[in-house]
Amino acid sequence: MVANMFYMSFLNFSEEVSSKLTLSEKLNQILTTGIGGYILVFAVLALIWFILALFGKLFDKKPKINKVESVSAPKPEPISPVPAPTEQDDKAVVAAIVAAISAYEGKPTSAFKVVSFRKKH
């Protein structure tokens, strides 16, 4: 009940004050409040940034390396291209496929013949 009365009196006060202001005074008050709000927000963000930067400097656990003592990493060797598959490799692939099918079906390898196969990418 008391809070409701306070709220009503606050609303009446704000209406009373705002009705006495001219349009230019209202715009001036709006701009002042808005700019002040932006300045306050950026000031708090700058303060948070400063605190985080300070914590980063205080709690940095990276080992310090002197440039004189540092050793350069060896250069990686160039990667040789993979040779194209030969007919020998194709026969090995066919033999592996036939063995897998015969194990899955439970039949001997002589029970069927692989005619062709394709790679799916």
**Per-position pLDDT tens, the chain of length 121:** 555 555 555 555 566 566 788 888 888 888 899 999 999 999 999 999 999 999 988 888 776 666 655 567 777 777 777 666 666 667 787 788 888 888 888 888 888 777 776 766 6
User: Does any domain span residue 32?
Assistant: yes
Task: Quote the domain boundaries for residue 10.
Answer: 2-58
Whether 6 and 45 map to the same domain: the answer is yes
User: Does any domain span residue 66?
Assistant: no
Q: What's the pLDDT score for residue 86?
A: 63
Q: Tell me how many domains the chain contains.
A: 2
User: Does any domain span residue 92?
Assistant: yes
Q: What's the pLDDT score for residue 45?
A: 97
How far is 8 from 1, CA to CA, in rounded Å?
Answer: 11
∠ CA 28-32-37, nearest 5°, is 150
Whether 47 and 6 map to the same domain: the answer is yes
Whether 90 and 54 map to the same domain: the answer is no
Q: How far apart are the first and last CA of the chain?
A: 75
Q: Are 114 and 120 in contact (CB under 8 A)?
A: no
User: Does any domain span residue 21?
Assistant: yes
pTM of the model as a whole: 0.36
Q: What's the pLDDT score for residue 47?
A: 97
User: Does any domain span residue 12?
Assistant: yes
User: Does any domain span residue 120?
Assistant: no
